[in-house]
């Protein structure tokens, strides 16, 4: 398939996808709340226009559970806490379950003390980080979230500027701000393209666009399979993405050393910061001010008359809880077939009928 080819797609009610994914995670061993949290994280990504982090990852999580890499039945635990900070061990469970505990604790502590930080370790894939800072923004908080992985052979896929060795994971960042006219949610990878986006392109037989990745010799490479096998992704914006990847590792390192089986210099963890807006100015005033600023940006003259200026997070539908899920999600044919095949081979609940 060429880059110009259009892959056939299927539409599915978002509520059906949420219910199905919840059932799958329940079968894999998760309790109902954690299963629904994980399902919401994936469906919310599809609704927000980020299918690389959507329900297609149910297949990935299922295979990780089958291999023992992921323990869906595990529950996160608070291992250290004081007035302003919390450390949570994910126990290799579903990342969304650990993040639910993290967001709840950060919100409660920030309400009491104005600011709070949470560090998470040993957790599964979190999904799209924008969901969690959106939940904080909805609670009247400014949220900052980063996930930092460095020098872990099984996670590394991004090379540093000037290098060809895999050093970092895609080390994403997310920011959430309460604002009138729609909360501002910024969700970005420190890599030029996410791992899951490259994998999705590979499944669809579509080349990686532009100069976003390189082969093991440092030459530009557009073949997803080759990049994932022996190549590497490039940092977003060169030195900018490189710096953001390092910063995420610097915050993650606060949680302590790596797992016993990992190299001693490796880093793995997630950092969350919540700031209670009302400790600085009235929430309504802040929301009006930021909302007006965002509206002024969107009112600017577009470079392309047919494509208006947008603010981050405004392209798709933003949902924060199961009750907000509605509408439909769109799945590529390769994703649909992969999910059907995974359900059949692993004897999981059948994938819903599309339309």
Classify domain 74-191+235-279+286-294 at the CATH class level: alpha beta
Distance CA(246)–CA(122), nearest Å, equals 19
CATH 3.30.1370.60 range(s) for the chain read 74-191+235-279+286-294
pLDDT for res 323: 94
Distance CA(345)–CA(203), nearest Å, equals 18
Distance of CA 11 to the CA centre of its chain: 22
150, containing H or E segment: strand 141-150
Q: Assess if CATH 1.10.1530.10 describes domain 1-73+325-355.
A: yes
pLDDT for res 59: 97
pLDDT for res 6: 55
198 phi and psi, to 5 degrees? -65, -45
pLDDT tens, the chain, 355 aa long: 444 445 678 899 999 999 999 999 999 999 999 999 999 999 999 999 999 999 999 999 999 999 999 999 999 999 999 999 999 999 999 999 999 999 999 999 999 999 999 999 999 999 999 999 999 999 999 999 999 999 999 999 999 999 999 999 999 999 999 999 999 999 999 999 999 999 989 988 999 999 999 999 999 999 999 999 999 999 999 999 999 999 999 999 998 877 778 899 999 999 999 999 999 999 999 999 999 999 999 999 999 999 999 999 787 788 999 999 999 999 988 899 999 999 999 999 998 876 5
219, 240, 126, 39: CA torsion to nearest 10: -80
The DSSP secondary-structure symbol of 237 reads T
Tokens of 137: 């923004």
> Do β-strands 9-13 and 328-332 pair in parallel, antiparallel, or remain unpaired?
antiparallel
Distance CA(31)–CA(157), nearest Å, equals 32
pLDDT for res 347: 95
Residues 6+ apart with CB under 8 A from 67: none
pLDDT for res 106: 99
Distance CA(128)–CA(41), nearest Å, equals 7
pLDDT for res 313: 79
CATH 1.10.1530.10 range(s) for the chain read 1-73+325-355
pLDDT for res 266: 96
Model confidence, pTM: 0.94
Note whether 254 and 87 are within 8 A (CB).
no
| 236 to 9, 161, 218, 302: CA distances (angstroms) | 29, 10, 16, 23
């Amino acid at each position: 398939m060429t880059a110009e080819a259009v892959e056939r797609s299927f539409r599915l009610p978002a509520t059906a996808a949420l219910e199905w994914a919840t059932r799958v995670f329940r079968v894999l061993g998760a309790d109902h709340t954690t299963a629904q949290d994980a399902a919401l994280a994936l469906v919310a990504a599809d609704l927000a226009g980020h299918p690389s982090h959507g329900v297609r990852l149910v297949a990935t999580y299922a295979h990780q559970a089958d291999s023992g890499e992921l323990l869906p039945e595990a529950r996160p635990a608070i291992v250290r806490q004081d007035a302003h900070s919390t450390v949570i061990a994910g126990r290799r469970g579903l990342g969304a379950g650990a993040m639910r505990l993290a967001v709840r604790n950060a919100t409660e502590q920030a309400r009491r003390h104005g600011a709070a930080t949470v560090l998470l370790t040993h957790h599964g894939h979190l999904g799209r980080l924008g969901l969690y800072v959106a939940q904080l923004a909805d609670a009247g908080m400014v949220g900052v979230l980063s996930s930092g992985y460095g020098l872990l052979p099984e996670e590394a896929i991004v090379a540093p500027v000037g290098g060809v060795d895999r050093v970092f994971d895609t080390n994403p960042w997310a920011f959430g701000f309460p604002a009138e006219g729609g909360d501002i949610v910024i969700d970005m990878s420190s890599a030029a393209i996410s791992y899951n986006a490259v994998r999705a392109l590979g499944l669809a037989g579509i080349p990686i666009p532009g100069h976003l990745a390189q082969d093991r010799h440092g030459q530009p490479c557009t073949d997803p399979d080759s990049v994932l096998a022996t190549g590497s992704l490039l940092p977003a914006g060169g030195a900018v993405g490189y710096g953001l990847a390092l910063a995420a590792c610097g915050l993650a390192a606060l949680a302590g050393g790596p797992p016993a089986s990992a190299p001693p210099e490796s880093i793995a963890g997630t950092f969350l910061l919540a700031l209670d807006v009302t400790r600085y100015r009235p929430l309504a005033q802040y929301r009006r001010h930021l909302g007006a600023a965002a509206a002024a940006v969107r009112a600017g003259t577009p470079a392309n008359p047919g494509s208006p200026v947008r603010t981050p997070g405004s392209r798709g539908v933003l949902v924060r809880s199961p009750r907000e899920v509605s509408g439909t999600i769109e799945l590529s044919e390769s994703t649909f077939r992969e999910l059907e095949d995974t359900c059949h081979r692993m004897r999981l609940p059948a994938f819903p009928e599309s339309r």
